[in-house]
Amino acid sequence: MNNFAPLKNIRVVLCETSHPGNIGAAARALKTMGLSQLYLVSPQRFPDPEAAWRASRADDVLAAAKVCDSLDEALAGAAFSVACSARSREVAVPEVTVREAAAQLIEVARTQAVAVVFGNETYGLTTAEVNKCRLIATIPANPRYSSLNVAAAVQVFAYELRMAAGGQVPRGEPRVMAGHEEVESFYAHLEQTMVETGFLNPEHPKKLMPRLRRLFARAQLEKEEVNILRGILKALGKPKNRD
Amino acid sequence: MNNFAPLKNIRVVLCETSHPGNIGAAARALKTMGLSQLYLVSPQRFPDPEAAWRASRADDVLAAAKVCDSLDEALAGAAFSVACSARSREVAVPEVTVREAAAQLIEVARTQAVAVVFGNETYGLTTAEVNKCRLIATIPANPRYSSLNVAAAVQVFAYELRMAAGGQVPRGEPRVMAGHEEVESFYAHLEQTMVETGFLNPEHPKKLMPRLRRLFARAQLEKEEVNILRGILKALGKPKNRD
């Protein structure tokens, strides 16, 4: 099974959004993370050119958005739901971080529909809305200013969902690492060159070679890089032309 | 020490941003996660009412933003820098996820200034800009549409920085990283030495310097290591005694 298949089972619900720009930006945030289901409960202005502009090339997600009259309608058929909230609150629902919530959502979404719910820009989710969900997720934030823009919160949540599903960066070509003997020969060449130029006194070597070994060990030298470095040492070791 | 103190040592650099709304949204994203240093390299429109509107109550971060003429100016004094890029690319800099990059940034930011760099909305960062950084961070994304809005990318990165700061216990001695100018001077010294010995033909430089930059970027050079390397170059560059 494709690691990212559960993302198709996740709907993102925006309640009573005031600014159409935020709806467009949320659509874009979903698509960048491989989500596609956007539900809008009583948006104040939608559709709107500002939403289309901010959606950029996520116009397909925006066009497919479902407009609902109530949160109940948006949650119909969902097997699990999470309310995203900036603040801790006195409600009948357990609270976790967005990272923990994402892991739980992905687990359920392997087989069933799930939802993440976001509130209005100014007053967030009402207590009644939060109580319709199974879990509250908070995004850890600056206690003096924890008010993320709603589309920014959707982006963070969608990112954590993708990470939980198994989001790894594809890493191009595998690196061809230098072999043990090649690296040791390079160190010997480097040391010899330093001795010849007087930079390293073999009677008092101090910590010079161990330090250089540590530096190059961190770099995890590739085969071709060792060849380049030895080429440089060889060129430097040659007598110069004196005109 | 306060876990979140390193966040004060992190500057976020936006290069050639087109839309002032994104600058404002980035300021808000920083403040929600406890960051405060915003640097703007040649913004197209700034200051601007749209920036102020999107910043919301992060107007203090926006007012303190530093406008710079070049990326070098924005990175001056930074001991470590990370380029944020949507795509894998052929550059002289190692690549990690934003989560890994955040952990490394927090580690260095306990004692020194560090930077995270974001590109223009349309064309991202140039290769020359990426090559001035020590690491590339990519945000895992939908391969069919990986184009996060720049302020959304800043939000995700700032969130991971806060998560990394909050979850960590400082380990052992902090490393004293080489500053941006020191590393660039070392590269210049290395290149000049290679040209003088004939190893590098300035008419046909091929990929030699980018390869060497990539190698040393992976090593994340410390201040003292740069001093050693330059000492070696200096010793090798001297005329030899011929007995």
User: What pLDDT does residue A241 have?
Assistant: 47
Q: Report CB contact under 8 Å: A140, B159.
A: yes
Q: What is the pLDDT of residues A125-174, one digit of tens each?
A: 998 898 888 889 999 999 999 999 999 999 999 999 999 998 544 445 56
Q: What is the pLDDT of residues B109-163, one digit of tens each?
A: 999 999 999 999 999 999 889 989 999 999 999 999 999 999 999 999 999 999 9
Say whether residue A142 is in contact with chain B using an 8 A CB cutoff.
yes
What is the second-level CATH architecture of the domain B180-237?
A: Orthogonal Bundle (1.10)
A191 vs A202: CA distance, rounded Å: 9
Q: What is the pLDDT of residues B188-237, one digit of tens each?
A: 999 999 999 889 999 998 889 988 998 998 888 999 999 999 999 998 87
Say whether residue A152 is in contact with chain B using an 8 A CB cutoff.
yes
What is the second-level CATH architecture of the domain A5-165?
A: 3-Layer(aba) Sandwich (3.40)
User: Does A4 have pLDDT greater than 90?
Assistant: yes
User: Does B11 have pLDDT greater than 80?
Assistant: yes
Task: For residue B140, say if its preceding peptide bond is cis, omega within 30 degrees of 0.
Answer: no
Q: Report CB contact under 8 Å: B32, A240.
A: no
User: What pLDDT does residue A90 have?
Assistant: 66
User: Does B167 have pLDDT greater than 80?
Assistant: no
User: Confidence class of residue A180 from pLDDT cuts 50, 70 and 90?
Assistant: confident
For residue A237, the number of C-alpha atoms closer than 13 Å in the C-beta half-sphere is 14
Q: Select from A23, A24, A5, A25 the least CA-distant residue to A162.
A: A5
User: Confidence class of residue B72 from pLDDT cuts 50, 70 and 90?
Assistant: very high
Q: Minimal Cα–Cα distance from B18 to chain A, Å?
A: 14
Chain A residues with CB-CB distance to B57 below 8 A: 145, 147
User: What pLDDT does residue B243 have?
Assistant: 41
pTM: 0.81
Among A163-167, B21-25, B43-47, B120-124, the minimum mean pLDDT is found in: A163-167
Q: Which residue has the higher pLDDT, A218 or B71?
A: B71
Could you check whether B5-166 and B180-237 share the same CATH topology? no
Give A132's contacts (C-beta < 8 A, 6+ positions apart).
Answer: A71, A72, A75, A81, A83
Say whether residue A218 is in contact with chain B using an 8 A CB cutoff.
yes
For chain A, the average pLDDT equals 89
Say whether residue A242 is in contact with chain B using an 8 A CB cutoff.
yes
Q: Minimal Cα–Cα distance from B221 to chain A, Å?
A: 7
- Minimal Cα distance from A61: which residue of B? B145
User: What pLDDT does residue B169 have?
Assistant: 47
Which A-chain residues 104-133 have CB contacts (< 8 A) with chain B?
Answer: none
User: Does B168 have pLDDT greater than 60?
Assistant: no
In total, the C-beta contacts within 8 angstroms joining chain A to chain B are: 162
Q: Report CB contact under 8 Å: B199, A232.
A: yes
Say whether residue B62 is in contact with chain A using an 8 A CB cutoff.
no
Q: Minimal Cα–Cα distance from A100 to chain B, Å?
A: 13
User: Confidence class of residue B241 from pLDDT cuts 50, 70 and 90?
Assistant: very low
Q: Minimal Cα–Cα distance from A155 to chain B, Å?
A: 6
In total, chain A counts a number of residues equal to 243
User: What pLDDT does residue B37 have?
Assistant: 98
Say whether residue B219 is in contact with chain A using an 8 A CB cutoff.
yes
Give me the residue spans of the domains in chain A: 5-165, 180-237
The answer to whether the CB of A39 falls within 8 A of the CB of A69 is no
Report how far apart, in Å, the C-alpha atoms of B193 and of each of A202, A212, B232 are. Answer: 25, 19, 11
Do the strands B37-41 and B135-138 form a parallel or antiparallel pair, or are they unpaired? unpaired
Give mean pLDDT, residues B17-40: 98
Among A164-168, B14-18, B51-55, the minimum mean pLDDT is found in: A164-168
- Minimal Cα distance from A214: which residue of B? B219
User: What pLDDT does residue A174 have?
Assistant: 60
Topology at the third CATH level for domain B5-166: Alpha/beta knot (3.40.1280)
- C-alpha triplet B220, B222, B227: angle, nearest 5°: 125
Query: What is the share, in percent, of chain A residues with pLDDT greater than 90?
Result: 65
Which B-chain residues 16-55 have CB contacts (< 8 A) with chain A?
Answer: 25, 28-29, 31-34, 54
Give mean pLDDT, residues A167-186: 69
Interface test with A, best of B156, B193, B221 (most A CBs within 10 A): B156
Task: For residue A174, say if its preceding peptide bond is cis, omega within 30 degrees of 0.
Answer: no
Q: What is the pLDDT of residues A192-211, one digit of tens each?
A: 999 998 899 999 888 898 88
User: Confidence class of residue A242 from pLDDT cuts 50, 70 and 90?
Assistant: very low
Q: Report CB contact under 8 Å: B194, A235.
A: yes
